[in-house]
Chains A and B, each alone.
Chain A
């Protein structure tokens, strides 16, 4: 492994400044929360960082707090903490379930909320060192290659799928993303935080150089809100979602007043299926309604040569998620 410089940041703004300074000196820089994925990427040569800004020395960003306006989740909260937190489990269960489904206990004990949301894609071309869009190149090798795990929504020119389980759940709760950079802090809506490859094929989100995700703020949810995260994996642990569904609904008895349905594993960003949300509003949850919602969920899918099998999976996953939210 090559020589690395480690800088222990004292705060998020210190981390941003340190990153800016290192970049100005010509270094490639990476922020490290849990570092579970970053260090492997550096060893594999898919991340070229030679300066690591260590965030484990930052005291902030470790709390899950509630006030009248909602719940704040610090970026450095571990996935285990997030999955076990009583507050999150009581009102925001889709987030807890998503966090608890990530990787393995070892990864969840170290990996952070912000790291999970901003991790790089697990596309086998990108991770095997192909010079694709994600590596700064100008090609997506999956289009005419092995694309069984690739995007059926929102693809082009890159067809990666976003790897986070937590992100779709955050989007489904209208989370606001808190960002710190060398010039201060800013807040970004879920809609603006994740970027489709058509906008920027190299990155998955709108963080610019030297910026980092420090936390999220979830607006207050009403008492009649229920949520779930349903994940289909190709083994029982240590893998990403083949298809995931984060569903958040406000219901009156069994009637849906309002729904948010966001998919994982099928698009380059957490993928909102608004047609499903529109369909569900005003419906009584039933097996037939859940089924129809699932079918509506794939209406706009554009499968590649070898990933059409994801369509029935999405249909089934949405159906299951809705059924999970039926009253009593």
Chain B
């Protein structure tokens, strides 16, 4: 079930109506051309050789047999192709920042020696077909000197831990300093002194692979000094810029084409090593090169959500007022600093005394990087389980406790709008929170126990620079050029709908041109939930400009066209702009066999005005499903003795199947704060943030034991009940 509450909002002509994706037919009939579907004359196929060891120095590499295999065109390795992959490791994990990439201390190359995780790339082959390439890779002889390895972030900071880099295992920050990320607000010492009770707990979360349907691939084709790159990117402009920088080219020398792609969830931001490897092979071979990763390579060779260990300390007065919060945490980054390692959640509370210290740590696991709301689900799980526990310990309803302690607008920091009270109260009513939660956790008689959990969030919805071009011809056919790709949320359709609304024409009169850096202007990329709000504003401005031109000059005639472009840099006047959400879950735990079943799942979100209800609803559902998977199933297990990963892939990671997925009610409270395009905020990432927290809180409410480690598998429930 889903519902959209639009009190006080003027209805619009196109926006707000359930609208099929403009490319739905191509997708479901198999006509859509994904990167792997491209075939170019003389195209070669590539394969990468990867490290079988978690940490080793390569003593020697012998590619002579591979070179000699008939059909092999090019073999490259760390010896003869030392290309820096700038997005592969950045000081502080700061992507989109060239000076930081340039100054990065621990740079990552497309091939590395020493190798630092099982799956680290060493060499690659381009051959006339896939099988020859695979065979050639198996003919490369590598002599390794195995080195000690470390898997767990806390262990990696011990004095005697194996060193991933000579400087130690604490990752450098964006300034290149080896220090944790610290946020120190107010005076926690005074806050704890003020508290009547102090609570402490350790929480732990696992590595979650993005698990998008389409594994990484890339097709590189040089035309003179220009590189045409077909790649399933989540941001063609950024992919172009990163690839140009890595290869020593100007941006205009790289054309990135992403017509259709099979999801990414943050796995395909920037450029990936596949792009640089394919381009390097193609340049040397003098032929187009297609590089395709297998599922296992994608799982181990790209990235997933960072595993964390979080130590919380919370001081609270008897009346429920939180006086101090502290988090000391560790994020396992693997051996390269691809992204921040952030742990969010504490900042959703208004407590004036908050100390947070996060140590991003190098380990010899696979690399960690962005996955849908990169810093949030694990952080909200930690802090909201901590706070849920505190609430029950002091005898308060967690919803009441939240309403008392959540962050609110202040004189110093205003919001463009604030609906969190309404969102939480609306959800509590719809869900029947008072009827479903157990005032005394674990109080159900018998082995099958029910309980309810809740979580809430706010998530950035800030605006920023992007571009759009709109054109109209004499037939009143409009063409919108936007540098977006559709990674699932339907960005092409959304952009078309915003244009149609702004132009006051039906969507059928607007053609959308996307996914090609030579044809489309800069767009921010489908990461950070930014496309709708940032590129959407550019679309509105370009459309307004075009309407003014039409008003001034009339519709074009003959073969004339009118064109408008916009590259706005909007602001929110110093106010913070957030979307809001609350999830309520009822679970049934069979304590005899440790199983958890979700009986009811209610979500309420305020994401401003909703552009396309059907895709917005599915974004919340899909994200919630991923969050439930993180709560109950997924993790990448490693063998402690050998450093080998044991559970890569869909079977081993135990992703939810259709039969595992409960009904998920989605409700949007729609508003217009006057800032986004027609008031739209973000939706894409926000749905994943709350499920791990809410599900874990529900399990705790059912069984009366706090689950301090994700995923909540049977062995943990049975262990807690024993």
Residues of chain A having any CB pair with chain B under 8 Å:
1-3, 124-125, 128, 130, 141, 144-146, 148, 232, 234-239, 242, 306-307, 309, 312-313, 315-317
Further 18 A-B residue pairs, CB within 8 A, beyond A130-B642, A235-B633, A236-B657: A1-B131, A124-B647, A130-B644, A141-B641, A141-B642, A145-B640, A145-B641, A234-B714, A235-B660, A236-B660, A237-B658, A242-B714, A309-B594, A309-B715, A312-B718, A313-B718, A316-B590, A316-B592
* B685-722 Cβ-contact flags toward A at 8 Å (1 or 0): 00000000000000000000000000001110011001
B593 touches A312 (CB 8 A): yes
Give the residues in chain A near B595, CB-CB below 8 Å: 232
Cα–Cα, bound, A235→B715 (Å): 14
Cα–Cα, bound, A288→B474 (Å): 84
Cα–Cα, bound, A213→B206 (Å): 42
Give the residues in chain A near B656, CB-CB below 8 Å: 235
Cα–Cα, bound, A316→B633 (Å): 21
A–B Cβ pairs within 8 angstroms, 22 of them: A3-B131, A124-B637, A124-B652, A128-B646, A130-B644, A146-B637, A146-B640, A232-B595, A235-B633, A235-B654, A235-B657, A237-B657, A237-B660, A238-B651, A242-B714, A309-B594, A312-B592, A312-B718, A313-B593, A315-B592, A316-B592, A317-B593
B715 touches A148 (CB 8 A): yes
Shortest CB-to-CB span from A133 to chain B, Å, is: 16
A238 touches B657 (CB 8 A): yes
Cα–Cα, bound, A92→B659 (Å): 26
Cα–Cα, bound, A235→B634 (Å): 11
A146 touches B639 (CB 8 A): yes
Give the residues in chain B near A235, CB-CB below 8 Å: 633, 654-657, 659-660
Q: Is the interface of A mostly helix, strand, loop or mixed?
A: loop
B593 touches A125 (CB 8 A): no
Cα–Cα, bound, A124→B635 (Å): 14
B660 touches A1 (CB 8 A): no
Residues of chain B having any CB pair with chain A under 8 Å:
130-131, 134-135, 590, 592-595, 633, 637, 639-642, 644-647, 651-652, 654-660, 713-715, 718-719, 722
A128 touches B645 (CB 8 A): yes
B593 touches A141 (CB 8 A): no
Shortest CB-to-CB span from B680 to chain A, Å, is: 36
Give the residues in chain A near B647, CB-CB below 8 Å: 124
Shortest CB-to-CB span from B719 to chain A, Å, is: 7
Give the residues in chain B near A315, CB-CB below 8 Å: 592
Cα–Cα, bound, A307→B713 (Å): 12
Shortest CB-to-CB span from B550 to chain A, Å, is: 54
Cα–Cα, bound, A1→B292 (Å): 14
Give the residues in chain A near B658, CB-CB below 8 Å: 237
Cα–Cα, bound, A238→B134 (Å): 29
B131 touches A125 (CB 8 A): no
Cα–Cα, bound, A232→B595 (Å): 9
Cα–Cα, bound, A232→B654 (Å): 14
Task: Indicate whether A239 sits within 8 Å of B641 (C-beta atoms), given known contacts A1-B131, A1-B134, A128-B646.
Answer: no
Shortest CB-to-CB span from A26 to chain B, Å, is: 19
Give the residues in chain A near B659, CB-CB below 8 Å: 235-237
A2 touches B135 (CB 8 A): yes
Shortest CB-to-CB span from A122 to chain B, Å, is: 8
B593 touches A316 (CB 8 A): yes
Task: Indicate whether A2 sits within 8 Å of B646 (C-beta atoms), given known contacts A125-B639, A309-B718.
Answer: no
A145 touches B651 (CB 8 A): no
Give the residues in chain B near A124, CB-CB below 8 Å: 637, 646-647, 652
Shortest CB-to-CB span from A148 to chain B, Å, is: 6
